[in-house]
Amino acid sequence: MKINGSEKMKRMTSSIFQEVVERKHAALANGKDVIDLSIGSPDFPPPQFVIDTLVEHSKNPGNYFYTLRGIEAFNEAVAHFYYERYDAEIDSKREVLQLMGSQDGLAHLATAIVNPGDYVLVPDPGYPIYEASVTIAGGKIHPMPLLAENKFLPKLEDIPSEVLQRTKMMILSYPGNPVTALADRAFFEEVIVFAKIHNIIVVHDFAYSELIYDSNPQISFMSVPGAKEVGVEFNSLSKTFNMAGCRIGYMVGNTEVIDLLSSFKSHIDYGVFYPIQMAAVAALTSDYSFLEDQVRQYELRRNALVTGLRNSGWAVANSPATMFVWAKIPAGWKSRDFAFQLIDEEGIVVVPGDAFGKQGEGYVRIALVQPPERLEEAAQRVNQFLLEFSV
């Protein structure tokens, strides 16, 4: 019996991430000491009080029911967090939707909103689920190039009018993945005006909201007047509180969009485990000293890696945010060749930029998921690699 996948699966399949894994395993089999800087999974633990809360509620046998949706305490905690951290007012009863991680919502939102043939404006390079979600929904993708000369902001005026006439949704992410750039308030104000003119729903992925460095401002899209009229914002406890495996996040903003996704999700899941919700409440209503310390730790990692790479002659830009460095590779290399040979020769695992879109060619993404001393060692190995294999 031969089973063929759908045409949608053929369109959304990418072999690059699998190739990276295979190269990593080959390097390990060859006895190399591998430093894996590819996967954006936090290596820090959650705060101890979050773990304690999870354990406490897990011991209660009465807490193993279907929650179906976010409990009232969770929604109120999200509203509290947004007011305290981003000076954004969120109605906990109408403007919060709990998700099984932000990717859950990002994966399903297009299906709830987009009809076959509708365009969705997607950043290029961008997080793969953006394009995949549109493909699943049967929509059409119009990439918005994120270029260094434009500070990695899309030029909205370059989008063709014939595309805008059929555009249903626009996806943005600042700070983003893989591009770690920040957007200022003026850009978000421009987006809001643009969305109103063209009747486009704005979807802002804010998953790295608490990993912003050098005292740069944390600007939530929801804190900008008019944002709720045109869009929503996704956020998560995965990177903020290192609760990635708990799979809990949320969407805030426009009530019509929230109602559509809520209705869709009512057909496919039964809510997040109650003890995890209570652990999230504890995190979101804490004194946030944990967040301040965590940012300092990531800054130390970023500084160790970037300084080490610059010492090797690789002029890497200083990442202003997220748990990644988006590095323009030395001239003469293709992203995939550079990344794969770096794994083969030095055991340093990074992701080639073309995994994230056409405009990612010429870059690699490096994750800050190792202690500073290991990042310094990785930089030293890269230095050796560049000396031996300069193009």
Each residue's pLDDT tens digit, 83-93: 999 999 999 99
Which residues contact residue 215 at a Cβ distance below 8 angstroms, ignoring those fewer than 6 apart?
none
Q: What is the 3-state secondary structure (H, E, C) of 94-105?
A: CCEEEECCHHHH
Helix residue ranges, H only, 114-232? 128-137, 161-164, 185-198, 227-230
pLDDT at 13 over 60: no
- Residues above pLDDT 70, as percent of the chain: 99
Q: What is the CATH number of domain 7-45+289-389?
A: 3.90.1150.10
Q: What average pLDDT score do residues 21-39 get? A: 94
Q: Is the pLDDT of residue 10 over 90?
A: no
- Residue 389 has a pLDDT of 83
pLDDT band at 110 (very low <50, low <70, confident <90, very high): very high
> What percent of the chain is modeled with pLDDT above 90?
92
pLDDT at residue 117 above 80? yes
Pairwise CA distance, residues 38 & 144, whole Å:
24
Average pLDDT over residues 233-246: 97
Residue-level pLDDT at 348? 97
Backbone angles phi and psi of 180, in degrees to 5 = -100, 20
Q: What is the CB neighbour count within 10 angstroms for residue 337? A: 14
Mean pLDDT across 356-375: 97
| pLDDT score of 17 | 84
13 vs 60, higher pLDDT? 60
| Confidence band for 72, pLDDT divided at 50, 70 and 90 | very high
Question: What whole-number distance in Å separates Cα of residue 260 and Cα of residue 248?
Answer: 19
Q: Which neighbouring-strand residues pair with 235?
A: 250
Read off the tokens for 366. Answer: 């490096």
Tokens of 235: 């956020």
Q: List the beta bridge partners of residue 348.
A: 35
What does the mean pLDDT of the chain come to? Answer: 96
Q: Give the mean model confidence (pLDDT) for residues 45-72.
A: 98
**How many other CB atoms are found less than 10 A from the CB of residue 288?**
16
Q: Return the structure tokens found at 15.
A: 């072999």
Whether pLDDT at 384 is above 60: yes
Question: Which tokens go with 322?
Answer: 């997220």
Does residue 38 carry a pLDDT above 90?
Answer: yes
Spatial separation of the C-alpha atoms in residues 171 and 159, rounded to whole Å: 14
Coil, helix or strand at residue 284: helix
Distance CA 205, CA 21 (A): 26
**Per-residue pLDDT at 391:** 58
Evaluate whether 218 touches 212 at the Cβ level (below 8 Å): yes
Amino acid 159 reads I
Model confidence at 358, pLDDT cuts 50, 70, 90, reads very high
Distance of CA 242 to the CA centre of its chain: 14
Count, residues in the chain: 391
Which has the closest alpha carbon to 60: 275, 245, 246? 275
State the pLDDT at residue 14. Answer: 60
Distance CA 187, CA 285 (A): 30
User: What tokens appear for 168 in the block?
Assistant: 């249903």
Supply the pLDDT for residue 322. Answer: 98
The rounded distance, in Å, linking the Cα atoms of 365 and 194 is: 30
The arithmetic mean of pLDDT across residues 303-331, rounded, is 95
- Residue range(s) in the chain whose domain bears CATH number 3.90.1150.10: 7-45+289-389
First to last CA, the chain: 48
Q: Quick one: pLDDT at residue 342?
A: 97
At 5 the pLDDT is 85
**Whole-model pTM?**
0.96
- CA-based R_g, the chain, Å: 21
Contact 378, 330 (CB under 8 A): no
Residues of the chain with CATH 3.40.640.10: 48-284
Which residues pair with residue 236 across a beta bridge?
A: 249
Question: Per CATH, which fold does 48-284 belong to?
Answer: Aspartate Aminotransferase; domain 2 (3.40.640)
192-209 mean pLDDT: 98
